[in-house]
Amino acid sequence: MIIVARKYVNKGFIQQLDGTYAVLIHPVNGYLEAEQIEAIYRLAKQYGKVKLTVTEAIMIFGIKPENFDQVAEELEKVHLPLANIGPVVRNVKVCSSQYCKHVIRDVTPLAAQINQRLAGMATPKKFKIALNGCPNSCVEAQLNDLGVIAVQDGYWLYLGGKGGRQPQLGTRLDVVIKEEHLVETVERIVKGYLRVAQNERLAEVIDRMGLLPFLKVALAWNSEGIKTCIGARYCKNGVGDVHTMAERIVSAGNLQENITISGCGNVCAVDREARCNVVILKDRLWVYSNSGMDVLDADQLPEYLRSKGILK
């Protein structure tokens, strides 16, 4: 019986048909330095063949469990991370936007941020993320759980793509995500997936729930006593940024009762059980409470909530 050290579970080493293992290496943002190539050459010469994978990773074959530490140490010396494998958030796949003549925006810094925050996080099934610097989509954003494509005024997001035996194209959100919200949005989607997945990929979650119900779980604000719709960041009908409004309220004091915030007149977040329902319009707020409806400016809301005993 082969026993693999706990530190290598879901990390780097994959058993092969002949009982040996291949080490899977994921260079940061897909780039290799000369000294890293030399280290790969030395290990390949010692153990076996090298293969380049479709996920921008490198596999070296012919490794036995007793050699795992030596291989990992050699790779660590040249800052080559073992790839995340199994049911985790995989290393982000990214195009060569640093150098490509077609690029709209270099996405490698964003890929590094997302990797740092999320790569290796345990998930019900594997979760793949791909970033592209232009709509040519060299790293196939549409075939990943979450795909990002840079466009002139921000980023397109695709959700629920996958390859395999039953490939499926992801669905594009109908809004453009601003760069300042992108990393947070990716993190919200992954954490939303964690809350609702039932041993299934994101594609199956969306097939089961529907895209909008999933987005409400992942992208609406549902904490600190505040429930919102997904808001103008993520909805083409949105007028107001419900997330900024929620942050303003939370920073102003402690909520004593539940409220809702809707980002347009469709009032998607309204809840009759809430003490107060706020609707953001272009130049004012409608605020519904037990005493009726009030019309406010946005900066008046915290003081209004205090006057009702909702915020202290």
Q: What DSSP letter does each residue of 220-258 carry, written as one string? A: S-EETTEEE---TTT-TT--S-HHHHHHHHHHH--BSS-
Full-model pTM: 0.88
Q: Could you report the per-residue pLDDT of 47-71, keeping only the tens digit for each?
A: 989 999 888 889 999 999 999 999 9
pLDDT attached to residue 11: 83
Q: Which amino acid is at 88?
A: V
223-273: pLDDT as tens digits: 779 999 998 899 988 888 999 999 999 999 999 999 999 999 999 999 989
**pLDDT tens digits, 70-83:** 999 999 999 998 99
Average pLDDT, the chain: 92
Q: For 88, phi and psi rounded to 5 degrees?
A: -145, 170
Domain ranges, ordered by start, for the chain: 6-77, 93-217, 220-307
Distance CA 138, CA 144 (A): 12
In angstroms, how far apart are the furthest CA atoms of the chain?
78
Task: Give the confidence band of 291 by pLDDT, cuts at 50, 70, 90.
Answer: confident
Asked whether this chain's domains 6-77 and 93-217 adopt the same fold, the reply is no
**Matching CATH number, 93-217, of 3.30.450.40, 3.40.718.10, 1.10.3720.10, 3.30.413.10:** 3.30.413.10
- Counting residues of the chain whose pLDDT is more than 70, the rounded percentage is 98
What's CA 261's distance to the chain center, in Å?
24
Locate 211 and state its tokens.
């895209």
- When pLDDT is cut at 50, 70 and 90, the band that residue 4 belongs to is low
> Which pLDDT belongs to residue 5?
66
pLDDT tens by residue, 192-213: 999 999 999 999 999 999 999 9
pLDDT at residue 3 above 90? no
Per-residue pLDDT tens over the stretch 23-36: 999 888 888 999 99
Domain covering 6-77, topology? Alpha-Beta Plaits (3.30.70)
pLDDT-derived band at 10 (thresholds 50, 70, 90) equals: confident
Does residue 1 register a pLDDT over 70? no
End-to-end, the C-alpha distance of the chain in Å comes to 61
CATH of the domain spanning 220-307, picked from 3.40.50.20, 3.30.413.10, 2.160.10.10, 3.40.50.300? 3.30.413.10
pLDDT at position 2, please?
Answer: 56
